[in-house]
Amino acid sequence: MELTVTDLAVGRGGVPVLAGVSFGLVGGRALVLRGPNGSGKTTLLRTVAGLQDPMAGSVQGAEDQVAYAAHADGLKAALSVAENLRFWASVFGQRDIDPALRAFDLEALVDRRAGQLSAGQKRRLGLARMVVTARPLWVLDEPTVSLDAASVALFADAVRAHMAQGGAALIATHIDLGLEADIFDVTPYRAKPGAVAASDEAFL
């Protein structure tokens, strides 16, 4: 698996946010995105995940390779932990959810409804979803929000295990995860206002 981002410009609502972003990521590596709030990390990640089109430049090697996790975990309050996880596993053509439950210490909670979980437990369930996708490229947007120190360590272990299996991770975070990861600061790539003309956004 190899992700190549070339001269990428991304925008939010037709307003360019980042321009000229280039980086590469290969299996077994992690790349941590840094930058202040509003600097365009989320927009960049959404573009890499294919949820929005780049305004310029290209993203190669990401299609059908990405498991994406954003601020919202997509959990259904009325379903149990196991049902939520099993659903995402079968969407991605997988069956086994036990390793994911183990990796995020959710085994005691399998029959609990997701609506009754604490914020940190929900987050752990959302991250366990990454494991069951079996996709090689993890794209994670602020994965450690509402996690305690022990859970952050669990998450770091999960990312390490993923990298050991040849996977890669692209992570936007403000804290130090203790991973052997490259750092990519998006601040210098901030787009100048009006640098890229809005495409067809005005009509949509």
Partner 1 sequence: MRALFVRDLALALRAGGGFGLGLAFFLIVVVLVPFSVGPSPELLARIAPGVLWLGALLACLLSLDRLLAVDWEDGALDLLATSPLPLEGVVAVKAGAHWVTTGLPLVLVAPVLGVLLNLAPAGYAVLVLSLALGTPALSMIGAFGAALTVGIKRGGLLMSLLVLPLYVPTLIFGAEAARRAAQGLDPATPLLFLAGITGGVLAVMPFAAGAVLRVNLR
- Binding residues (CB under 8 A) for partner 1: these are 49-53, 64, 66-79, 83, 86-88, 90-93, 129, 133, 204
Least distance in Å: CB of 138 to partner 1? 11
Closer Cβ to partner 1, 116 or 187, answer by number: 116
Least distance in Å: CB of 176 to partner 1? 26
Closer Cβ to partner 1, 78 or 150, answer by number: 78
SS (H, E, C) the chain: CEEEEEEEEEEECCEEEEEEEEEEEECCCEEEEECCCCCCHHHHHHHHCCCCCCCEEEEECCCCCEEEECCCCCCCCCCEHHHHHHHHHHHCCCCCCHHHHHHCCCHHHCCCEHHHCCHHHHHHHHHHHHHHHCCCEEEEECCCCCCCHHHHHHHHHHHHHHHHCCCEEEEECCCCCCCCCEEEECHHHECCCCCCCCCCHHHC
Closer Cβ to partner 1, 92 or 164, answer by number: 92
Least distance in Å: CB of 123 to partner 1? 12
Least distance in Å: CB of 188 to partner 1? 25
Closer Cβ to partner 1, 25 or 49, answer by number: 49
Closer Cβ to partner 1, 77 or 175, answer by number: 77
Least distance in Å: CB of 101 to partner 1? 18
